[in-house]
Amino acid sequence: MKNIVITGGAGFIGSHVVRLFVNKYPEYNIINLDKLTYAGNLANLKDIEDKPNYKFVKMDICDFDAFYQLMQDEKIDGIIHLAAESHVDRSIKDPFTFARTNVMGTLSLLQAAKLYWESLPEKYEGKRFYHISTDEVYGALSMTHPEGIEPPFTTTASSSEHHLAYGEDFFYETTKYNPHSPYSASKASSDHFVRAYHDTYGMPTIVTNCSNNYGPFQFPEKLIPLFINNIRNRKPLPVYGKGENVRDWLYVVDHARAIDVIFHKGTIAETYNIGGFNEWKNIDIIKTVINTVDRLLGRPEGADMDLITYVTDRLGHDARYAIDSTKLQRELGWEPSLQFEEGIEKTVKWYLENEEWLNNITSGDYEKYYESMYKNR
C-alpha cells in the first residue's frame, strides 16, 4: 500500500487532486496536509471526508519537526506538493510570507523526506517528490495582434494557431526562468531547491509548471470566481489596465488528471509543462463570463457589461503567458478533456448552484468553523 501526502489538499487545485486519488486508488492511504490558511477549506472535500483511505492533518509545511515525524509515523512513500501562497497581489503587499511558505516550506519538506527516505533499507527506491509550480516562473512572452483573428484560440493538436494569434513563442520546459513578481520569484526559488535535491542527494523529484486553472472550489479572490460572484450581486468588475493581458487557461480537473499521470508515469528529474492550448485576453474572458452568467440567471445576455471598471494596472503585470504541453502529450498521452466554452459553462453553473459555499467564503464563516473544530488538536 502506498502512503501519499498531498500538501495544500484543502485548497483549490489540491482538493481536486485529493478527491481524484482517494476515489481512484482505494489501495492508497491519502494524507491531506494543510495549514488551513484563508485559502484552505475542508468544505471542498465533504464528499470524501469519511473515506477509509483518507486522512486530514492540520500542519504548517514550515514545521520541519512535525513533518519529519509524520513521514516516520505514516511511512510516507510519495509527496505531491501543492501547498503555496499563490495570489500575485498579496505577494506584492507581503513578500515575506511568500518567501517563508513557498521557499522555506518546500525546503522543510525536502529535508524531512531526505532524512526519512535515506534511513530506509531501500533508500529512494519506490519514492517520489512531486513539486507543482507555475508558468509565471518563466516571465512574460511577446504578444502580437494580427488583424482579423478573433478569440478563442484553442487547439489540442498543434500550437500553430497560437503563434498566429498572440505571439511568436511559448513557454517550454527549457525556457529560461525570469520571474517578475515576488510570487513567481518565490516559486522559482522553490523549483531550484527541488532540482538541487535530485542533483545533490539523488532524491527522485519531478517538477511541473502549469498555466492558469479555473473551475469549482476556487477561492473567490481569483478572476473567474470573483467576477461570477460580482456579476451575481451586480458589483463592479475591476479590470487591470485595458484587459489586454493574455493567459492560457486549463480546467482544474484536467490539471488533476495530469498530476495523476505524471506522478505515476513521469520520468524522474524531468520537468513537464501543463497547459490548455487555450489563450485568452483578460477582457475577452471577462465578457464571456458576463454573457454566461447573464444567460444562466435569465438576464438579457450582456446586460452586466456596464459593470466592467478599468483600474490602474498591477505592478509588473506580465503581458502574456502561454504553455506548450506537447512533451506531456507526446510522452505520457495526456491532453485536456474540455474546451474552454464547455469548461466555463460548467464552472459558472457550479458557482451559481453553490451559493452557500460561496457565501461562507466571502463572509469568512468557513474560517471560524474550522478554527473552532481544530483549535485544540
Strands 153-154, 278-281: pairing kind: antiparallel
Could you tell me how many helices (H) and strands (E) the chain has, helices first?
A: 14, 13
Q: Is 65 a catalytic residue?
A: no
Please count the CA atoms within 13 angstroms of the CA of 90 that sit on its side-chain side: 13
What's the rounded Cα separation, in Å, for the pair 113 and 79?
A: 9
Q: Is 366 a catalytic residue?
A: no
Q: Three-class SS of residue 80?
A: strand
Please count the CA atoms within 13 angstroms of the CA of 279 that sit on its side-chain side: 28
Q: Is 68 a catalytic residue?
A: no
What's the rounded Cα separation, in Å, for the pair 7 and 81?
A: 5
What is the residue type of 191? D
- Which residue is catalytic, options 34, 60, 77, 136? 136
Q: With the C-alpha atoms ordered 263, 338, 231, 89, is the resulting torsion angle positive or negative? A: positive
DSSP letter, residue 113: H
What is the residue type of 28? Y
* 355-363 and 340-353 helices, crossing angle to 10°: 70
Helix H or strand E segment including 31:
strand 29-34
Contact 339, 347 (CB under 8 A): no
- Which residue is catalytic, options 116, 183, 214, 366? 183
* CB-count exposure of residue 200 (10 Å: 0-12, 13-18, 19+): exposed
Closest CA to 61 of 121, 110, 4: 110
What's the rounded Cα separation, in Å, for the pair 251 and 80?
A: 19
- Which residue is catalytic, options 60, 77, 85, 135? 135
Number of neighbours of residue 311 by Cβ within 10 angstroms: 11
What's the rounded Cα separation, in Å, for the pair 126 and 76?
A: 11
Q: Which residues are catalytic?
A: 135-136, 183
